[in-house]
Amino acid sequence: MSWGVLNIPAWMAPADKEALLSVLVDKQPISVLEIGVFAGSTTQSISTVPSVKQITSIDTFDLRYISTPALERLGLDRSFDPLNVFLQFLDELSQRRPDIDHVIRQEVVTKSTELDDHYDLIFVDADRSTRWLVDMLPIFRKRCDMLVGSHYNFGYAPELVVTVDSLFPNVQTIEKTNIWYDC
Ligand SMILES: C[S@@+](CC[C@H](N)C(=O)[O-])C[C@H]1O[C@@H](n2cnc3c(N)ncnc32)[C@H](O)[C@@H]1O
């Protein structure tokens, strides 16, 4: 199957992607670290923001970390290769936005992961477990001016909401979406 750039399977609801875009357009980051890429749907959104000149994308690109029901909700099965689709997207990106310097890292993000000292904005859409969030969100927060995340929905991801609220008492959300941010 050919995955045109407009057809990258998307996890985030359109309203959440719009909210992410509105945050990016408002903040005008130059450097963005994205943790949780899958096949690149949100990277595609990030790459439409004119201020953005550096994107680092980290994911396992490994379906072992994705449940079968989650894949089925996207209309996919285990033959889907997110890395292959993402590489096709990067080909298109290099032509459309040659001014963006892109780095792809295929790895599991842990406390040992080496990150640059500073990104203007970090977007995290990966592991939702309390353990990972408690370990990682403070590390991410120290490395950026603005930390943005998804899944802020008590019915769907209560652990994430409780953890984000406790770590970031001044967290802000975008109404009627699952996007949160701290800056
Ligand atoms: C919800 S999907 C990301 C969706 C993507 N942002 C989009 O909207 O299309 C979550 C991704 O996080 C990745 N992931 C989960 N835990 C991770 C970790 N510890 N390190 C790196 N990637 C991780 C998974 O491989 C999966 O592709």
Q: Other CB atoms closer than 10 Å to residue 20's CB: what's the count? A: 24
The per-residue pLDDT for range 22-65, each reduced to its tens digit, is 999 999 999 999 999 999 999 999 999 999 999 999 999 999 88
Q: How far is the CA of 38 from the centre of ligand 1 (A)?
A: 5
164 lines ligand 1 (CB under 6 A): no
136 lines ligand 1 (CB under 6 A): no
Q: How far is the CA of 180 from the centre of ligand 1 (A)?
A: 17
Question: Can you tell me whether residue 59 is helix, strand or coil?
Answer: strand
Assigned fold of 5-182: Rossmann fold (3.40.50)
Assess contact for 68 and 156: CB atoms under 8 A.
no
The per-residue pLDDT for range 148-162, each reduced to its tens digit, is 999 999 998 999 999
Full-model pTM: 0.95
Which distant-in-sequence residues (6+ apart) come within 8 Å of 139 by Cβ?
111, 115
59 lines ligand 1 (CB under 6 A): yes
Assess contact for 120 and 146: CB atoms under 8 A.
yes
Of all protein residues, the one whose alpha carbon is nearest to atom 25 of ligand 1 is: 60
Calpha distance 180→7 (Å, rounded): 26
179 lines ligand 1 (CB under 6 A): no
The residues spanned by each domain of the chain are 5-182
